[in-house]
């Protein structure tokens, strides 16, 4: 009973955090504002989260449409669809994820104190934004073992290329009106990734 209520409060705080970050940015997302929006005390926030960093990490990991989910779908897609199709669908999801994550990620990079605390927390947990790239590389290596990706391809490099392109595309789409559609971006990036440049 208590546990259910606690889980409810935690979820309410997370939802409030998302709303406050959207309205005021990370730097303006004070625990005071989040508490007001969640209808709870600031003290209650600190009962559920050790600090703003942990709250933001929970927002990234638990609330936003997950990159982990997109990676799961890629894994099952690959059983049924051609490599190019599955990777293109994944790239579109990844761009969407990074678009939603951008305000928080940027907020962390902008605030030296918060960045320091976040770095320390990620180091202890061995977590971080580079983990999904390693997961994608693992998925590619499984395809390689099955003979669907050429044996001499660098799967770590390929994962960094595809994920990085999606990440940058997301940020750019927030800054400028890009000349290409998201689907055409994804198709073009995956085509380049599959073909390679070597003459």
Q: Which residues contribute to the site for a second copy (CB under 8 A)?
A: 25-27, 83, 102-103, 105-112, 115, 118-119, 122-123, 128-130, 133, 140, 147-158, 160-169, 171-172, 174-180, 185, 187-199
Beta carbon nearer to a second copy, 27 or 76: 27
Beta carbon nearer to a second copy, 18 or 133: 133
Beta carbon nearer to a second copy, 7 or 109: 109
Whether the CB-CB separation of 111 and 26 falls below 8 Å is answered with: yes
Beta carbon nearer to a second copy, 49 or 98: 98
Q: Residue 146 gets which letter from DSSP?
A: T
CB of 62 to a second copy, least distance (A): 18
CB of 4 to a second copy, least distance (A): 34
CB of 25 to a second copy, least distance (A): 5
Q: What are the φ and ψ backbone dihedral angles of 14, each rounded to 5 degrees?
A: -65, -45
Please measure the distance between the N-terminal and C-terminal CA atoms of the chain and give it in whole angstroms.
Answer: 65
Beta carbon nearer to a second copy, 5 or 150: 150
CB of 30 to a second copy, least distance (A): 13
CB of 118 to a second copy, least distance (A): 7
Q: What's the CA gap between 58 and 83, in Å, rounded?
A: 32
Whether the CB-CB separation of 91 and 165 falls below 8 Å is answered with: yes
Q: What's the CA gap between 75 and 199, in Å, rounded?
A: 31
Q: What is the DSSP annotation of 45-75?
A: HHHH-SSHHHHHHHIIIIIS--HHHHHHHHH
Beta carbon nearer to a second copy, 13 or 94: 94
Q: What's the CA gap between 80 and 71, in Å, rounded?
A: 15
Q: What's the CA gap between 98 and 51, in Å, rounded?
A: 23
CB of 12 to a second copy, least distance (A): 24
């Amino acid at each position: 009973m208590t546990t259910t209520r606690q889980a409810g409060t935690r979820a309410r705080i997370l939802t409030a955090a998302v709303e406050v970050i959207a309205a005021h940015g990370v730097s303006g997302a004070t625990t005071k504002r989040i508490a007001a929006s969640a209808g709870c005390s600031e003290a209650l926030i600190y009962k559920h989260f050790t600090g703003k960093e942990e709250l933001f990490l929970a927002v990234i990991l638990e609330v936003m449409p997950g990159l982990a989910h997109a990676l799961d779908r890629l894994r099952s897609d690959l059983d049924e669809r051609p490599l190019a199709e599955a990777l293109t669908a994944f790239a579109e999801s990844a761009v969407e994820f990074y678009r939603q994550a951008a305000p928080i990620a940027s907020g962390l990079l902008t605030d030296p104190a918060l960045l320091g605390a976040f770095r320390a927390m990620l180091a202890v947990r061995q977590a971080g934004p580079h983990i999904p790239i390693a997961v994608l590389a693992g998925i590619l290596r499984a395809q390689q073992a099955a003979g669907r990706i050429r044996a001499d391809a660098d799967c770590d490099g390929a994962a960094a290329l595809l994920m990085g392109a999606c990440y940058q595309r997301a940020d750019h789409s927030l800054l400028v009106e890009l000349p290409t559609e998201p689907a055409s971006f994804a198709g073009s990036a995956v085509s380049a990734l599959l073909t390679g440049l070597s003459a």
